[in-house]
Structure 1
Amino acid sequence: MKFLSIVVLIVATGLISIPEKSQVLASVDECYCLDTKPDEKVCGADGKTYLSECWMKCHDVASIMLALAKHPRDYNC
């Protein structure tokens, strides 16, 4: 019973915040990159490979280099 009271208290005070689905998907839902081609992968400043410069910008990541991949399956940052 004591454990349940503590959990209720934590949730009620907002110490545990669960984002709504709309908040999590907002950044991707607002981004329209329909022109992505398989050979447009780029490397972001965060060290991740993105499908295109457009997708990289959708994730609000600056680029340290824009490198078009000749062999996209083998391309990684």
Structure 2
Amino acid sequence: MTIEQLRHKFDLEDKYPRSADLKRWIIEPAIKELNVKSNYDVHYRTERKGRAVHKIWFYFREKSQLQMDV
């Protein structure tokens, strides 16, 4: 997904013009919350075009559940 597509989906076209700000204030907190509160381990990777971040990939992996001794 391109950064422009991500901004459009979250209605952020006019906010966070720098990708570093988008990462700091939107992406990182959301991933941190998902990792704590969900059953998934989430991480992402970015691709640059020149010096600018152009694309972002999100990866979701289901967390393994530990068995409890009863």
TM-score range, shorter chain: under 0.3
Please tell me whether Structure 1 or Structure 2 has the larger radius of gyration of its CA atoms: 1
Structure number having the greater strand percentage: 2
Compare relative contact order (CA 8 Å, sep 6+) and give the higher one, 1 or 2.
Answer: 2
Give the TM-score normalised by the residue count of structure 1: 0.23
